[in-house]
Amino acid sequence: MNRIEHIALMANYNQWMNQKVYAAAGQLSDAALSADRQAFFGSILGTLNHLALGDTVWLKRFAQHPTGFTALAPLNSIATPTDLKHLAFVDIRELSTQRAWLDQLIIDWAHTLRESDLDHRLQYHNMRGIAASKPFFSLLVHFFNHQTHHRGQASTLLTQAGVDVGVTDLLALID
Helix or strand holding residue 10 (H, E): helix 3-25
Read off the pLDDT of residues 57-100 as tens digits, 9 standing for 90 and up: 999 999 999 999 999 999 999 999 999 998 999 999 999 999 99
CA atoms within 13 A on the CB side of 110: 24
Helix or strand holding residue 125 (H, E): strand 121-125
Query: Which amino acid, residue 25?
Result: A
Q: Is 155 helix (H, G, I), strand (E, B) or coil?
A: helix
Cα 166-107-77 angle, rounded to 5 deg: 115
* Other C-beta atoms lying within 10 Å of the C-beta of residue 173: 12
The per-residue DSSP string of 25-69 comes to HTTS-HHHHHS--SBTTBSHHHHHHHHHHHHHHHHHHHTTSTT--
pLDDT of residue 52: 98
Using a cut of 0.85, tell me whether the model's pTM lies above it.
Answer: yes
Local confidence band at 175 (pLDDT 50, 70, 90 cut-offs): confident
| Per-domain boundaries in the chain | 3-168
Read off the pLDDT of residues 97-114 as tens digits, 9 standing for 90 and up: 999 999 999 999 999 999
Average pLDDT of the segment spanning 140-167: 97
pLDDT of residue 35: 98
Would you say residue 169 has pLDDT above 90?
Answer: yes
CB-based contacts of 157-164 (< 8 A; 24+ apart in sequence): 157/37, 157/39, 157/43, 157/44, 157/47, 158/21, 158/24, 158/25, 158/28, 158/44, 160/37, 161/28, 161/32, 161/37, 161/44, 163/24, 163/25, 163/27, 163/28, 164/24
Spatial CA neighbour of 21 closest among 63, 57, 51 = 51
Express as a percent the part of the chain with pLDDT over 90.
Answer: 98
pLDDT of residue 77: 95
The CATH H-level superfamily of 3-168 is: dinb family like domain (1.20.120.450)
